[in-house]
């Protein structure tokens, strides 16, 4: 498995983003309508990774910087977006590797907390995040009023606290 930093507008990032949206539609009945722009993931204010297996894009994830804005974000937040592993590559630890790389990148960029929103229809995601040290946090962002949404945060301090 090789990871490459890609623009969110890169064809492989777009391919995986389309696939994660299809997954959301099948599980929730709607897309993630969060407004995203490729520049949101440009270093040093973000990063988007694509994982390749034998040259094929199979995993992705990114973070974008957030600051206090009245929608529940705090200064120094890094918001995790578009974590995804294609079905044929699941259960190999790829999501955990993407997550760790994104946390390291956000920490190196001076971010102090990683935040994410997921949903009850994604139990695999909930398990991944909770087993990786994420804890429930107050709702934030565009899905903060959705009952099926779950919100998590993790300190990016050296010891995770």
Tell me, what's the pLDDT at 32?
77
For residue 160, what pLDDT is reported?
63
pTM: predicted TM-score of the whole model, two decimal places: 0.93
Profile the chain (161 residues) by mean pLDDT over runs of 10 residues: 95 95 86 85 97 97 96 96 96 96 97 96 95 96 88 88 58
Q: What is the pLDDT at residue 161? A: 58
The structural domains of the chain, ordered by start, are: 2-155 (3.40.630.30)
The Cα–Cα gap between 94 and 40 comes to: 23
pLDDT at 144: 87
What the block records as the tokens of 58 is 């199979």
CB proximity list for 71: less than 8 A, separation 6 or greater: 140, 141, 142, 144
């Amino acid at each position: 498995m090789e990871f490459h930093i890609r623009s969110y507008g890169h064809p492989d990032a777009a391919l995986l983003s389309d696939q994660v949206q299809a997954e959301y539609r099948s599980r929730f009945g709607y897309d993630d309508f969060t407004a995203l722009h490729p520049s949101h993931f440009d270093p040093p204010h973000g990063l988007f990774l694509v994982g390749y297996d034998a040259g094929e894009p199979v995993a992705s994830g990114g973070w974008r910087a957030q600051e206090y804005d009245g929608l529940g974000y705090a200064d120094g937040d890094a918001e995790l977006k578009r974590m995804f592993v294609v079905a044929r590559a699941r259960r190999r630890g790829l999501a955990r590797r993407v997550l760790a790389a994104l946390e390291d990148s956000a920490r190196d960029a001076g971010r102090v907390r990683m935040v994410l929103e997921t949903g009850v229809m994604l139990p695999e995601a909930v398990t991944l995040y909770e087993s990786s040290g994420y804890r429930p946090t107050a709702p934030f962002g565009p899905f903060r009023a959705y009952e099926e949404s779950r919100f998590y945060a993790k300190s990016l301090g050296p010891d995770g606290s």
